[in-house]
Homo-oligomer: A and B are copies of this chain.
């Protein structure tokens, strides 16, 4: 446990306490959709409707909600074009991009885990 020096200081984020960076990371991308959303945005800036197409099995509400949280956490950037019908583009911030290597590893690890599990 990489306890931060003698003081055992507590990390806080939005009023919640975390003992380790792992928990922080999981709090930020550990939801049901967030990691996948980041993964998709890493390839490309996307409009809301693009994301809807990618995540056909969720609702507009869920997508909106997850995206807003990611925005609040500084991981994605939301650009609204003031036109009708509305156009909103989502892209990764620098911080959002910085997590990509982790997502990549998670993707690979998960795949090979399954491969190992299915070939006993």
Contact = CB atoms under 8 A, between A and B. Distances in A.
Contacts of A99: 109
A116 B112 CA distance: 33
Interface of A: 1-2, 4, 11, 13, 18-26, 28, 30, 35-36, 39-40, 43, 54, 74, 95, 98-99, 101-103, 105-114, 116-117
B114 A26 contact: no
A24 B103 contact: no
B103 A22 contact: yes
Contacts of A107: 2, 20-22, 25
Contacts of A111: 2, 4, 11, 21, 24
